[in-house]
Amino acid sequence: MKIEHACVRQLQLPLVTPYKVSLLTMRVFDPFVVEIRDTEGRSGFGEALIVPGYTHETVEGSWRLCLSLAQRIVGLEAGEARALARAAVQDGVGAASAVLAALDMVAGHARLAPGADTRVPLLAPLHSEDRGALAEEIEATLARGYRTLKVKVGFDWTKDLRQVETIQQLVRGRATLRLDANQGFDSADGIAFAKRLSPQGIELFEQPCSLDDWRANAAVAAKSTVPVMLDESIYDVADIDRAAAIDGVGFVKLKLKKMGSIDMLLDGLARIRANGLTPVLGDGVSLEIGCWMEACVAAGTIDNAGEMNGFLKTRDRVFENPLPFADGAITLPGGYAPRIDRDLLARCTLREATFDDRVIAV
C-alpha cells in the first residue's frame, strides 16, 4: 500500500490546572499532530509536544521537519515511508516519531490492538504547596485510586526537602512517591537535596541535573539515598547503556516521542531490563494519541505506574470515544479503537499543512 495523504497540524489545548515544573509553567499543550492515510483508506495519527529546555529540538525546527517528512512520504510505499522517517530520527526525534507513530497506527501494529481488557495504573502529580491544601489534595487523589504520586522539585533544595518531608507525613505510606527535578538542580544542590532524603516511601529521584551534564547527574546519583532515574538525558540505546554504567541509577524513563516508532520503544525497554535497570514509561505532556499508544505498549512490559497522564491535564479530549480511565488507571477494553474528534481538531488547530498526491495546501 502507498501513502496518499498526510496532514500536519499544530494544536493548542488549555490545561485544567497550570503544570509547574522547574523550568517553566505550562498552561496549554500545543503539540504537532500528524495524520496519514493510505490508498486502502486506513488512517493513523502521531503526536509530539516539543518543550524548549527539555530537548535540543526547537518548535520551528520540528515543524519544518514534520512538513518535510509529510510531503516526502506521500506517494511512497509504507516501507519506504517508514525508512525515510526512521532515518530522520537523528535530525529530530519528536517530528520523526510523530510520523512513525502514525505509520504504526496505519499498519495496525499488534501492540495497538490488545485482545483482552487491559489496565495500566498511572501516577498523579501533586500541585498544592501549603500543608492544608496538600492534605486535601492527597486524600482526594488517593480516593480516586492513585497509588503513586509525583512531586516536582528542583526549585530550592531546602524548601523542596521540607516539602517532601511534609508529603511523606501526609501520605503515611499509603502511596509511593516519585520526585522529579526536571534538570532543576546543579550538582551541589542536587547532592545536598538527595543525600538528606529519608527513603521512606520514595521510589526514585528523577533527572536531578541538566540533560547534557552526565557528570553532575552521576555525582548526585552517587550520594542519593534513593535510586536516581534519568529521563531527559535518554534518547537512544547508547544513552541507556551509559546510564546503566552510573552507580546509583536504578531507573530509566522512556517516551515514544523520544525513541521513534513503537518497535524502537520496545527495543529501548528491553535494553533497560537487559542492563539490570527498571524501565518507566510515559509522557506527561502528551494528548490521548500518545498516551493511548504508550498504554498499549505498557501492557505486559511495565510493572510500575505509567506516566502517560497528559490526556488528563487538558480540558478537552481529542478522541470521540475518550480513552477509558477509572480508579487511577487507563482501562482499555479488548478491541478498543480510538476515533479522532475532527470537530475538536478544527477548533484547536493553530496551523496546518496537507499533502495529497504531491499537491500541497498550507
Nearest by Cα to 235 from 213, 260, 272, 218 = 260
- Please name every residue paired with 37 in a beta bridge, in sequence order, or none if there are none: 5, 43
- The pLDDT, as a whole number, for residue 114 is 86
- Please name every residue paired with 118 in a beta bridge, in sequence order, or none if there are none: 332
- Amino acid letter for position 43: S
Q: Identify the three-state secondary structure at position 342.
A: helix
Report pTM.
0.96
Which residues of the chain does CATH 3.30.390.10 include? Answer: 3-109+341-361
- The pLDDT, as a whole number, for residue 242 is 98
- The pLDDT, as a whole number, for residue 39 is 96
Residue range 3-109+341-361, CATH number = 3.30.390.10
C-alpha radius of gyration, the chain, whole number: 20
Cα–chain center distance at 248: 23
- The pLDDT, as a whole number, for residue 328 is 98
- The pLDDT, as a whole number, for residue 359 is 52
Cα–chain center distance at 190: 23
- The pLDDT, as a whole number, for residue 319 is 98
CATH architecture of 118-332: Alpha-Beta Barrel (3.20)
Nearest by Cα to 34 from 293, 296, 284, 282 = 293
Burial of 336 (0-12, 13-18, 19+ CB in 10 A): buried
- The pLDDT, as a whole number, for residue 61 is 97
Instruction: Give pLDDT tens digits for 293-309.
Output: 999 999 989 999 999 99
Nearest by Cα to 294 from 93, 55, 122 = 122
* 319 DSSP assignment: B
**Cα 205 to Cα 45: distance, rounded to the nearest angstrom:** 33
**Cα 202 to Cα 174: distance, rounded to the nearest angstrom:** 11
Grid-cell match 502521531, residue found: 46
Which residues of the chain does CATH 3.20.20.120 include? Answer: 118-332
**Cα 217 to Cα 275: distance, rounded to the nearest angstrom:** 18
* 236 DSSP assignment: S
**Cα 231 to Cα 284: distance, rounded to the nearest angstrom:** 12
Helix ranges (DSSP H) in the chain: 59-73, 78-87, 93-107, 131-143, 157-171, 187-194, 214-223, 237-244, 256-259, 262-274, 288-298, 342-348
- The pLDDT, as a whole number, for residue 86 is 98
Those residues of the chain that have pLDDT short of 50 are 360-362
Cα–chain center distance at 249: 20
- Amino acid letter for position 164: V
Instruction: Give pLDDT tens digits for 11-34.
Output: 999 999 999 887 889 999 999 999
For the chain, the distance separating the N- and C-terminal CA atoms, rounded to the nearest angstrom, is 26
Nearest by Cα to 50 from 252, 290, 240, 237 = 290
Q: Can you read off the three cell numbers belonging to residue 289?
A: 494519541
CA atoms within 13 A on the CB side of 26: 25
